[in-house]
Structure 1
């Protein structure tokens, strides 16, 4: 009983000190120089720096640490340092003061094993995260329970901005693809919890390994296939496919019950897969495998090609084959009018062979307009990953390239002497080239058009067909793998 009374008396005295320090800190420190020592001796809960840090009193924190910098190392009953509290509350100025006194406290863990950086990221305190990473980059590598990194915590607590900041700041491939004790990367967790924006961001990061396997041998695509049905599944699936993600083809039937995964997706229900249907489907996809994000990766290159075609078409347009007249025809020495009347600067080809010039002009203008259209579409801000948009852009690109080839063909025919054109060998080469080119373009156009039509039809069938539900379960079946 006496021990309880002593503890209660000390707690009341400690609480009074805290109240006095908050009321007039500078005056109190001058009147009682040993008040800080008594606060440490009677410390059962928070020190004055803890109280000032959690309330955001930066001037008070600065004054105490000027006198006693060792207060930065003091821990309360929850093993939290003042830096833990200031980071969780988002007091950036207090964090700066504490870091200037002792930056090593970035690595201190509280009772839950969390560092100040973990708390700041979980709470979404972006400015504090920047300060802590700048002061101690190694703090981002500290793992917590079940081997989770700070990136895993960002996904778990839906802190996308903090995730972006950490991935872009650290910029390390191993860090981005770090795994927890179950072998799950942050992409696994994002897919499991249907976080569309998180998945899209990670897939845009070049360092992300889209087909990483966890300890159960499951890739992010496997996680999606075997997870609960959700309206976001189709969007996530499209994003994964565009990045080259695929499902596992190994027989992992003994590990499909992956419900021990401690993550936002730990509540997943997995359907029983039908592995026999996976092999032919993947084989068919591999036959026509073409990443849908090729356009995004080659966007700059396509812009350069379109600009080059436009430059060539413009140059050939103002300076056509055979050139232009250098003078205007004038009467001869006898005063008779010129028999071959022309003006300086006009096309010689248009004068001598109007039909050939017309064909040349049509092909060149088509290529010029098509290349300008490509540049306009790439700079328009339209959804570049849309299949319709990509199909339109590819068709325009083929038109531009074909028009360039036809312009070259028309120019060569005009510049080649008539006696050479009459030779069968020249006609055979030109005719064969044109037929092969047109056949190739037609084949590619038909193939991609069929792919687009099939995709649209599948979406219509999927939207119109009734959903199957597993008897006795409250979720929709995803069918076979």
Structure 2
């Protein structure tokens, strides 16, 4: 009879009756319900959202929070599903390790809060331990993909904004599918729009079936009202300017810039043809020179001036590239990466022209070759390389003309039998 009264008071939130019963017999809290649900008094109070009952029970027997119900759910799972941040905080203070516990559906309490759309509880859990959000579910699905599957845009925004983790946003499950794949499969335009605005999605990626989110959209949702807008957004992920499509500059890029700067500096202090070892006597005919001055400056003054101008451009542009590369590594502003790329191209082109000028001045067979020809060759080589990079980038993103031509040709054109 006392046990039934205890459960009834927890169900209806009758704190006075519960206190009276526990003053008489505190061991009543150790009794588990005889129903098939196998929930203790704390579980019932949490499900009903009676925070005062929960506080009283935890004060008398905090270990009760560690008991699981018949679904293998902890008390924190139940609080996450209910959405009561106050109760969740009390439970996490007693046993913070419960954030990692899995229920019968292999979900931890953070997963449950995300699925139920309980943003307040989710924020409290992230404040305590953000690493819990990295835990994967069945088929290695992420908590973000879980939010999309259950159409919980609010909790998705909380997770993306609180974590700020680009790797988690672009993570793949066992089928190679990302957050964008899930959003398109469930035809959720608002999720695609939000991910576009967040700037967290790097580019369209293929699943293990070789399909991007755009491919899935074109196959399954052409007749929907959301198709035109969603297609425009998805195409923007795959058709960004080439400067923004390049991977983030690494330390090797800075090493290349430093190497070019070193080469330009060395060419200035040790010019082709060497330097005079001693001063020219005044009584000897010809132009005056002094020890340490470039020999070519005396013999070929016009070409040496051209060589020096190009060498200075190469040296300065490489220093500017180093500056922008260092800034790009510590900033999210894409403009620094773009300026670094432009500076590197100028530096590389200039060092190529410097090389050509050195050959002209030191090789008698290239006396009539001319610096203009050297510039033209360098420009053509770099234009060809940039065109090749553009074609490869377009082919990989699925938006280039090369891939479209291959698709139009079709497999039958390759059948030579």
Check whether the contact 2:92–2:98 (CA below 8 A) recurs between aligned residues: no
Is 1:141 matched with 2:88?
no
Return the TM-score normalized by structure 1. 0.55
Q: Select which of 91, 94, 97 maps to 1:97.
A: 94
Shift of 1:407: 0.7
Distance across 1 between alignment mates of 2:110 and 2:321: 46
CA shift, 1:364, in A, is 0.8
- Could you tell me which residue of structure 2 aligns to residue 363 of structure 1? 310
Who is 2:321 aligned against?
374
Indicate conservation of the 8 Å contact 2:273/2:296, yes or no.
Answer: yes
Aligned residue number for residue 322 of structure 1: 273
Question: 1:169 and 1:130 mapped to 2: Cα distance?
Answer: 18
Q: Does 1:51 align with 2:45?
A: yes
* Equivalent residue, structure 2, for 1:406: 353
2:275–2:291: 8 Å Cα contact kept in structure 1?
yes
Q: How much does 1:358 deviate?
A: 0.4
Matches within 5 A, 1:5-404: 12-14=8-10, 19-20=15-16, 32-37=25-30, 40=33, 47-48=41-42, 51=45, 55=51, 61=58, 64-66=61-63, 68=64, 72-74=67-69, 81-87=74-80, 88-90=83-85, 91-92=88-89, 94-95=91-92, 97-98=94-95, 100=97, 104=101, 106-108=102-104, 116-121=109-114, 122-124=117-119, 125-126=122-123, 128=125, 140-142=136-138, 150-155=143-148, 156-158=151-153, 159-162=156-159, 168=167, 173-175=172-174, 177=176, 185-186=182-183, 188-189=185-186, 192-198=189-195, 203-204=201-202, 209=207, 213=211, 218-220=215-217, 228=226, 234-242=232-240, 293-297=244-248, 301-327=252-278, 341-378=288-325, 379=327, 381=331, 384=334, 396-404=343-351
Map 1:443-454 → 2, pairs under 5 A: none
* CA distance 1:298–1:432, change in 2 (3 Å): same
Shift of 1:153: 3.0
- Corresponding residue of 1:460: none
2:264–2:312 CA contact under 8 A, matched in 1: yes
Asked whether the 8 Å contact 1:326–1:345 carries over to 2, the reply is: yes
Question: Which is helix-richer, 1 or 2?
Answer: 2
* CA deviation map 1:286-336 (0-9, x unaligned): xxxx966542355655444333222221222233223344555678xxxx7
Equivalent-residue separation in structure 2 for 1:301 and 1:190 (angstroms): 42
Deviation at 1:128, TM superposition (A): 2.3
Question: Post-superposition shift, 1:409?
Answer: 1.5
**Unpaired segments ≥5 residues, structure 2:** 391-417
- Which region of structure 1 is more displaced relative to structure 2, 404-413 or 232-241? 232-241
Q: Which secondary structure does the structure 1 equivalent of 2:274 belong to?
A: coil
User: 2:353 is paired with a residue of what secondary structure?
Assistant: helix
Task: Provide Cα deviations, 1:178-228, integer angstroms capped at 9, x if missing partner.
Answer: 599xx95356458743534535766438987498559x9952565786652
1:149–1:443 CA distance, 2 compared to 1 (3 A): closer
Q: Is the 8 A contact 2:193 2:233 kept in 1?
A: yes
Q: Higher relative contact order by CA 8 Å / sep ≥ 6: 1 or 2?
A: 1
- In structure 2, the CA distance between the partners of 1:191 and 1:384, relative to structure 1 (3 Å rule), is farther
Distance 2:175 2:89 in 1: 26
The alignment covers a number of residue pairs equal to: 366
Shift in alpha-carbon separation, 1:239–1:133, aligned structure 2, 3 A: same
8 Å Cα contact 1:196/1:236 also seen in 2: no
Q: In structure 1, what is the Cα distance between the partners aligned to 2:111 and 2:302? A: 75
